[in-house]
Structure 1
Amino acid sequence: MARAGIHAHAMFPQVSSQVFFVSLVVLDPLVIVLVGLARREGTWLAGAVMVLDMCGNWWGNWHWIHDDPSQLMRLVPLTIFGVFVVASVLPLHRAVAGMADKPETAVPSA
């Protein structure tokens, strides 16, 4: 993004894919902040962004994989991480919801 700007993902012919991948510049930090602040919305947004990211990468790279199956190795790390994130959404959401339901304990003053 720093060098190519909005054309950083020009290798994907679909404009919708290019727009999505450029929007990750905002979405990824937003997810990090929301999850870091233990917001329930952050867990769902993390899962949604990851699913869209995996689908976009698979869709955009499918013709290279179809032509040369060894290119599949480029998507393996993303897919493994994506499955981890998506599998973590519900347990993380439950943990965050449990934290929100507990009353805050007062810290005794000295």
Structure 2
Amino acid sequence: MRLELRERWGGQPLWARRVRAVYLIGFLEGFCSHVLDLVRGGIHAYASFPQVPLQVFFVSLVVLDPLAAVLVGLVRREGSWLAATVMVMDVSANWWGNRHWLQDDPAKLFWLAPITLFALFVVALSLPLRRAAAGAAGTL
């Protein structure tokens, strides 16, 4: 398994390895952030969001973020698809759940910039990364 994984990573173009590394860092950071939220606030860590589906989604990121990281790290085509899906949902949920700040204090929305930029990066590169993974799978 270790040798196969090394070959799969080695079979990726340099740009794809770098993109995968950024994906891994981003999703592991997200995972740690959500774990810390749950440690601090328990199951009700996201009670500030009045919509229960948003609360459930943010808790589910404790599973979805590392799953996306693992699939991307294993150079699986499904990894880029899952990563893009999770990020679109995550950014949408964050912007929707914090939309009241647009009127109350728009400057507070600045803290959503990093996750939004990461989501744009993930979505923009998901198809090229999927193609690179397909090429690596075809060479083994």
TM-score, length basis structure 2:
0.71
Match of 2:113 in 1: 76
The match for 2:61 among 4, 24, 27 is 24
Equivalent residue number for residue 2 of structure 1: 39
Q: Which runs of 4+ in 1 moved over 4 A?
A: none
Amino acid at match of 1:59: W
Aligned length: 103
| Cα displacement string for residues 41-88 of structure 1 (whole angstroms, at most 9, x for unaligned residues) | 111000000000000000000001222111121111111111011111
Greater Rg by CA: 1
Q: Which one has more relative contact order, counting CA pairs under 8 Å at least 6 apart?
A: 2
Counterparts of 1:32 and 1:75, CA distance in 2 = 21
1:98, CA displacement in angstroms?
Answer: 0.6
- In structure 1, the partner of 2:131 is 94
Question: What is the aligned counterpart of 2:90 among 27, 30, 53?
Answer: 53
Higher helix share: 2
Identical-residue share of aligned pairs (%):
64
Pairwise CA RMSD:
0.9
- Please list every run of 5 or more consecutive structure 2 residues that lacks an aligned counterpart in the other structure: 1-37
Unaligned runs of 5+ in 1: 105-110
SS in structure 2 of the partner of residue 75 of structure 1: helix
